[in-house]
């Protein structure tokens, strides 16, 4: 009986390993695609693939994360306000699904803050106060979950820089935050999860260009 149990345990283990290999291979290909994308069509193709993977891999949070990221990038690329909002709505839906699987994942919370940040750009005059505050609050939450999340720090620095410009103040706080992010980007070791987010370094450099 023990031999039979061991046999089935080995079969299940092999099957799981093969499934994980396929998952990482599929995801790795699409992650590279979404990072390389330049146009809405290219982003959309990657997002469609992430959504298909999410439907098949219901316990994995990464497809939802990258679907959200792709939709945010489409919102940034899009010029029309209503379409921007549509992409951001889709991004938030994907992020919320990911958070249902891993509620304490700092990367998902930082991405949620990114959605709020891009909401401001649709209509800064009427949305600035609400969504600027909401984005900074959400980035703060992500940093509280993981103080070494460089994307959360970099995005927060962008909002701090925008606030400083609005009030015609020096970007001291933004620069301090961006320098913290830069140090983490430079020192971070290879993540255990090969699908862990890697973007944000160039964005942070953009903030640092405003610092003396």
Token pair in block for residue 23: 């998952």
Report mean pLDDT in 10-residue bins for the chain, 212 residues: 43 46 95 98 98 96 98 97 97 98 98 97 92 96 97 97 94 97 89 91 95 85
Domain 104-212 has CATH 3.40.50.1000: no
Our CA angle for 169, 175, 180, nearest 5°, is 155
Question: CB-based burial of residue 76 (10 Å sphere; 0-12 exposed, 13-18 middle, 19+ buried)?
Answer: middle
The domain locations on the chain are 1-101, 104-212
Rounded-to-integer distance, Cα 109 and Cα 139, Å:
7
């Amino acid at each position: 009986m023990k031999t039979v149990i061991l046999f089935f345990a080995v079969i299940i283990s092999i099957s799981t390993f093969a499934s994980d290999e396929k998952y990482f291979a599929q995801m790795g290909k699409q992650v590279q695609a979404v990072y390389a994308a330049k146009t809405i069509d290219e982003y959309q193709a990657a997002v469609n693939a992430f959504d298909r993977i999410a439907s098949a891999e219901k316990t994995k949070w990464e497809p939802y994360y990258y679907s959200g990221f792709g939709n945010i990038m489409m919102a940034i690329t899009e010029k029309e306000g209503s379409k921007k909002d549509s992409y951001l709505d889709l991004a938030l839906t994907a992020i919320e699904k990911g958070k249902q699987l891993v509620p304490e994942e700092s990367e998902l919370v930082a991405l949620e803050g990114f959605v709020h940040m891009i909401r401001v750009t649709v209509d800064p005059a009427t949305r600035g106060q609400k969504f600027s505050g909401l984005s900074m609050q959400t980035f703060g939450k992500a940093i509280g979950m993981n103080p070494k999340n460089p994307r959360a720090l970099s995005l927060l620095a962008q909002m701090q820089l925008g606030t400083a410009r609005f009030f015609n103040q020096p970007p001291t706080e933004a620069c301090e935050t961006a320098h913290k992010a830069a140090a983490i980007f430079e020192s971070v070791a290879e993540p255990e999860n090969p699908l862990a987010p890697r973007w944000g370094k160039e964005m942070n450099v953009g903030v640092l260009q405003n610092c003396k």
